[in-house]
């Protein structure tokens, strides 16, 4: 609210508002003027979170089933059901307990103390006690304690990367009057809470504290930003509701038919409960969790740490990736891209760039301003005498850089010649040059033609997004003390152009991104020209695409933005509000959005995005806390690998669901047929529990471990609204379920010729074994011959382990009694083996035909 007011107006406003007040009233006024504590997000108790895990309709059905089992004395069923739902609730609670700590990290960023001038004295007070109107002193190494307007500044540079995401320090100038519409990183006369003073000193008047600071606004944005469910969560919620209704209707029908046939109400109720337990894929929640955990482990090996399991699957349907530029798409290291000078003068240019330079080298590592360290790295790449050169030509005088002059000069003894090297902004330095080094390395008069060539080259570099510095020199007959008048009549040497270059992997990763049907977007705090140049190089900004700035975005209403959105690929000089608006606009169009970031300013958008991705190397704790995933290599290419992993995990989960539902459908079809045909129940309740908890879980888990299929990257992202229960999916589940049910009831009829017990045992055994074979069918769309039998050894292991468990039940006397099975003849066992295998034969023949047709 103070951005359009001068420093004097701010002071007058505060002082006039306290006239005639007592000291206590002034204190109250200060507190009212700026509340200083960041609001903490209220967290639910762990017990409440645990209780909320039981809200799912399928879980409620299972709880009712457990209560009925208790009432009927079926202890085994009760224990099994309660164990499963309790395990799922614990897993859900653990995920919540690991949830974000964004606001706590924001509080840690607050400066602990502030140097404030009150009543003409300098005091050190807790930053939380600052109020609007206080005058603070800033020096190199200080953390800015609150937002303020500069009153004085001497060569002041402040690193605002935590707020803007850009690592380069900002030069501050109190004489510049900016409006609120100017992007955060361009506000030269303002300082912001949590920024670091890297150079110089200054005085500022506090204009905002607490929630009113830029940091406070970000904290409020994080608090007010709701997390979004991943598509899998949405799908599973809808799936659970539909499945619950279907199961309830089937159980009511079976209960009615059982009573109609003369069974007691208690027996009919017990069987209906057993059928409900068999029909509900209660292992599904665990299978999904394990599948996601396996995917998480795979991704960790590929430099992606996932904080929220469900985010793994969410990556698979991402259709928009909003990426930061610095460090993600680029190397986060300034590099000299080109030099402009006559070839004979290149060495002189390089020497001037390391002499007029404040870079320090400690243990072989460069420290200093990224622009200056780039000059040193470039010199060392072309020469091996840097240490000797600096030692034999020490600095004997200097004129430090300041933002008003935009120049820096240093004095050296160069082989007996006292030489001043000067660097600075090309437009300023060129006007101070009267001479230049010509093609022969001689000093010549700088004419207008030569000056225009230099200016044109500077324009070309700048238009290409490069940062350009000019270098000049001047020699003296004897040692002297430098003054600002010496910085004229200089001899122009040349230009050096720098940029933060793209990562080598960025362009191929962007190409893969587009191939996968995902639109990559660059959102950065950097300048529009620089951002556009990088975006063009790596393929984000293509023909017909636009680049706009944050202030330009603010000028658009929602309707205009929605229309322009598909054509905008680069957003530069953006604010935290801008980032949230961009993410939300794409979400409003039905897209799944991933957002990368590393600064505090990125945290609200990371939370708003469907998948927030923080940088592990350069990222702040706030951004990491707000994200669902952290890249340990800060590399955009890692995101594309994660997308493929996410798609594979979803495919595996969907295949596991298909396996579970088709097997459960076979059991339901068998029971319904027996009820309608007036036959005895084909299974005992304990049979259904064995099938559901053992022969279900093992193959389903193995299916979830199917290796990644590279072809999935060519698929288009699926819609957020795409249901698991599509017509094709339901039709396949029904077809496979009917095949297994036919085999099961055929076995029942064969056993029925001997006894009801033998019939139930054969039906139970056939259904078990058929479902174990069915695990191979459910690995993917292709036939087992195309997928390869041994490419997923877990399915083979699950089959044989299930077979062993079934054999133990059938042949161990103690277990025969526990699981209510009859002793079978070898002929009957042969029928079980044959009938159980037939559904797989039919399904595989169908898959082979489909494979053949697709290949054509």
366-423: pLDDT as tens digits: 878 888 999 999 999 999 999 999 999 999 999 988 777 889 999 999 988 999 999 9
List for the chain the helix, strand, coil content (%; round to 5): 55, 15, 30
Residues 803 and 809: their CA atoms lie apart, in Å, by 10
Of the ranges 81-85, 363-367, 665-669, which is most confident?
A: 665-669
Residue 224 has pLDDT above 60, yes or no: no
Residue 85 has pLDDT above 90, yes or no: no
What pLDDT is recorded for position 22? 43
- For the stretch 393-402, contacts whose Cβ atoms lie closer than 8 Å and that sit 24 or more positions apart, written own/partner, are 393/355, 395/355, 396/479, 397/480, 397/481, 397/482, 398/482, 399/482, 399/483, 399/484, 399/486, 399/487, 400/155, 401/155, 402/154, 402/155, 402/200
- Which of 844, 789, 700 shows the shortest CA–CA distance to 284? 700
Q: Name the more confident of 719 and 483.
A: 483
C-beta neighbour count of 323 within 10 angstroms: 24
| Element holding 199 (H helix, E strand) | strand 196-208
Q: Name the more confident of 290 and 541.
A: 541
What pLDDT is recorded for position 725? 73
Chain length of the chain? 856
What pLDDT is recorded for position 382? 94
Q: Work out the widest C-alpha separation in the chain, in whole angstroms.
A: 121
Q: Name the more confident of 457 and 163.
A: 457
Of the ranges 275-284, 806-815, 841-850, which is most confident?
A: 841-850
Residue 268 has pLDDT above 60, yes or no: yes
What pLDDT is recorded for position 166? 63
Q: Name the more confident of 774 and 674.
A: 774
What pLDDT is recorded for position 687? 80
Residues 608 and 626: their CA atoms lie apart, in Å, by 9
Q: Which candidate in 74, 142, 147, 324 is catalytic? A: 324
What pLDDT is recorded for position 170? 79
- 7-33+105-223 CATH pick, 3.40.190.10, 2.70.150.10, 3.40.120.10, 2.40.37.10: 2.70.150.10
- Relative to beta strand 121-126, strand 147-159 is unpaired
List residues bridging with 494 in a β-sheet: 471
Range in 56-65, 211-220, 334-343, 670-679 with the lowest mean pLDDT = 56-65
Domain 309-330+503-634 belongs to what architecture? 3-Layer(aba) Sandwich (3.40)
As given in the structure block, the two tokens for residue 445 are: 């008069």
Q: Which residues contact 19 (CB under 8 A, 6 or more apart)?
A: none
Residues 483 and 215: their CA atoms lie apart, in Å, by 41
- Which of 848, 845, 843 shows the shortest CA–CA distance to 778? 843
Residues 302 and 486: their CA atoms lie apart, in Å, by 56
Mean pLDDT over 342-363 rounds to: 92
Of the ranges 248-262, 557-571, 661-675, which is most confident?
A: 557-571
Question: Alpha carbon 219 to chain centroid distance?
Answer: 19
Residues 616 and 153: their CA atoms lie apart, in Å, by 34
Contact 198, 172 (CB under 8 A): no
Range in 123-127, 231-235, 268-272, 784-788 with the lowest mean pLDDT = 231-235
pLDDT in tens, 17-75: 444 434 444 444 444 433 333 333 344 566 776 776 676 655 666 677 677 667 766 66
Residues 513 and 713: their CA atoms lie apart, in Å, by 9
What pLDDT is recorded for position 324? 84
Mean pLDDT of the chain: 81
What pLDDT is recorded for position 230? 57
List residues bridging with 301 in a β-sheet: none
C-beta neighbour count of 301 within 10 angstroms: 7
What pLDDT is recorded for position 6? 44
Q: Quick check: is 558 catalytic?
A: no
- Domain ranges (residues) in the chain: 7-33+105-223, 281-303+642-709+724-855, 309-330+503-634, 344-355+393-499
Range in 172-181, 351-360, 796-805 with the lowest mean pLDDT = 172-181
Of the ranges 9-23, 384-398, 521-535, which is most confident?
A: 384-398
Residue 819 has pLDDT above 90, yes or no: no
Q: Name the more confident of 102 and 8.
A: 8
Q: Name the more confident of 520 and 49.
A: 520
Question: CATH homologous superfamily of domain 281-303+642-709+724-855?
Answer: Calcium-transporting ATPase, transmembrane domain (1.20.1110.10)
Domain 344-355+393-499 belongs to what architecture? 3-Layer(aba) Sandwich (3.40)
Residues 362 and 371: their CA atoms lie apart, in Å, by 18
Q: How confident is the model at residue 183 (pLDDT cuts 50, 70, 90)?
A: low
Angle between helices 826-855 and 727-752 in degrees, nearest 10 = 160
- For the stretch 65-68, contacts whose Cβ atoms lie closer than 8 Å and that sit 24 or more positions apart, written own/partner, are 65/273, 65/276, 65/277, 68/269, 68/270, 68/273
Mean pLDDT over 124-135 rounds to: 85
Mean pLDDT over 637-665 rounds to: 86
As given in the structure block, the two tokens for residue 33 are: 């003027």
Range in 386-395, 477-486, 722-731 with the lowest mean pLDDT = 722-731
- Which of 790, 343, 328, 322 shows the shortest CA–CA distance to 584? 322
Q: Name the more confident of 19 and 841.
A: 841
Contact 360, 366 (CB under 8 A): yes
Range in 12-21, 145-154, 341-350 with the lowest mean pLDDT = 12-21
pLDDT in tens, 574-586: 887 888 899 999 9
Q: Dihedral angle at the C-alpha atoms of 544, 550, 552, 554, nearest 10 degrees?
A: 130
- Which of 298, 328, 232 shows the shortest CA–CA distance to 641? 298
Contact 625, 643 (CB under 8 A): no
């Amino acid at each position: 609210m103070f951005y359009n007011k001068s420093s004097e107006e701010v002071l007058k406003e505060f002082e006039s508002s306290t006239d005639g007040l007592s000291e206590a009233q002034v204190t109250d006024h200060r507190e009212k003027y700026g509340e200083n504590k960041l609001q903490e997000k209220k967290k639910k108790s762990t017990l409440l979170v645990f209780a909320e895990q039981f809200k799912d309709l399928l879980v409620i059905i299972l709880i009712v089933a457990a209560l009925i089992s208790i009432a009927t004395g079926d202890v085994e069923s009760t224990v099994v059901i309660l164990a499963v739902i309790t395990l799922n609730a614990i897993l859900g609670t653990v995920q919540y307990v690991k949830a974000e700590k964004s606001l706590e990290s924001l509080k840690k960023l607050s400066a602990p103390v502030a140097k404030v001038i009150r009543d003409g004295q300098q005091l050190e007070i807790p930053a939380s006690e600052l109020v609007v109107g206080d005058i603070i002193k800033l020096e190199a190494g200080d953390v800015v304690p609150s937002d303020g307007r500069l009153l004085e500044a001497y060569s002041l540079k402040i690193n605002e990367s935590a707020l803007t995401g850009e690592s380069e320090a900002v030069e501050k100038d109190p004489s510049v009057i900016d409006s609120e519409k100017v992007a955060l990183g361009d506000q030269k006369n303002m300082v912001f809470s949590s920024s670091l003073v890297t150079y110089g000193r200054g005085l500022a008047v506090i204009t905002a504290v607490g929630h009113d600071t830029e940091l406070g606004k970000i904290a409020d944005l994080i608090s007010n930003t709701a997390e979004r469910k991943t598509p899998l969560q949405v799908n599973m919620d809808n799936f659970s509701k539909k499945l619950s209704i279907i199961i309830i209707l089937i159980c009511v029908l079976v209960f009615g038919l059982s009573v109609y046939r003369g069974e007691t109400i208690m027996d009919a109720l017990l069987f209906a409960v057993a059928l409900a337990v068999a029909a509900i894929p209660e292992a599904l929640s665990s299978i999904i969790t394990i599948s996601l955990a396996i995917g998480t482990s795979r991704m960790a090996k590929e430099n992606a740490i996932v904080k929220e399991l469900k985010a793994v699957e969410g990556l698979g349907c991402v259709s928009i990736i909003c990426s930061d530029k610095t460090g993600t798409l680029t190397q986060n290291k300034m590099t000299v891209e080109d030099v402009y000078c006559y070839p004979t003068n290149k060495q002189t240019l390089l020497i001037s760039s390391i002499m007029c330079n404040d870079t320090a080298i400690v243990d072989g590592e460069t420290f200093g301003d990224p622009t200056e360290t780039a000059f040193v790295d470039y010199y060392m790449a072309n020469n091996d005498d840097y240490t000797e050169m600096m030692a034999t030509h020490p600095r004997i005088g200097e004129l430090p850089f300041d933002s008003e002059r935009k120049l820096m000069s240093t004095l050296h003894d160069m082989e007996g010649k006292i030489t001043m090297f000067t660097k600075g902004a090309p437009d300023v330095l060129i006007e101070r040059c009267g001479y230049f080094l010509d093609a022969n390395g001689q000093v010549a008069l700088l004419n207008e033609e030569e000056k225009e060539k230099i200016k044109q080259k500077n324009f070309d570099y700048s238009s290409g997004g490069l940062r350009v510095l000019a270098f000049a020199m001047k020699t003296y007959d004897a040692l002297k003390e430098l003054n600002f008048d010496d910085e004229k009549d200089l001899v122009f040497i040349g230009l050096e152009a720098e940029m933060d270059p793209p990562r080598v992997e960025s362009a191929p990763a962007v190409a893969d991104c587009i191939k996968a049907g995902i639109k990559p977007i660059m959102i950065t705090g950097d300048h529009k020209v620089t951002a556009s140049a990088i975006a063009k190089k790596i393929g984000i900004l293509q023909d017909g695409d636009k680049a706009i700035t944050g202030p330009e975005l603010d000028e658009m209403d929602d309707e205009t933005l929605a229309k322009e959105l598909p054509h905008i690929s680069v957003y530069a000089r953006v604010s935290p509000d801008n980032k949230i608006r961009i993410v939300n606009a794409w979400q409003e169009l039905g897209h799944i959005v991933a957002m990368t970031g590393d600064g505090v300013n990125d945290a609200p958008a990371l939370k708003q995005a469907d998948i927030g991705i923080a940088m592990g190397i350069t990222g702040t704790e706030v951004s990491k806390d707000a994200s669902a995933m952290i890249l340990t290599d800060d590399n955009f290419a890692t995101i594309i690998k994660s997308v493929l992993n996410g798609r594979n995990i979803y495919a595996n989960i969907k295949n596991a669901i298909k396996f579970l539902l088709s097997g459960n459908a076979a059991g339901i079809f068998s029971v319904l047929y027996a009820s309608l045909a007036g036959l005895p129940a084909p299974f005992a309740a304990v049979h259904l529990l064995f099938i559901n908890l053992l022969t279900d879980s093992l193959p389903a888990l193995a299916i979830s471990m199917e290796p990644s299929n590279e072809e999935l990257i060519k698929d288009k992202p699926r819609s957020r609204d795409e249901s698991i229960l599509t017509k094709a999916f339901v039709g396949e589940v029904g077809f496979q379920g009917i095949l297994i049910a036919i085999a099961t009831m055929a076995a029942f009829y064969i056993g029925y010729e001997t006894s009801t017990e033998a019939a139930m045992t054969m039906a139970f055994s056939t259904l078990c074994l058929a479902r174990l074979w069915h695990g191979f069918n459910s690995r993917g769309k292709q036939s087992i011959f195309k997928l390869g039998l041994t490419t997923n050894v877990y399915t083979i292991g699950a089959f044989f382990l299930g077979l062993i468990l079934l054999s133990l039940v059938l042949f161990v006397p103690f277990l025969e009694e526990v699981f209510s099975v009859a002793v079978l003849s070898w002929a009957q066992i042969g029928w079980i083996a044959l009938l159980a295998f037939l559904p797989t034969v039919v399904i595989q023949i169908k898959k082979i035909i489909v494979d053949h047709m697709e290949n054509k």
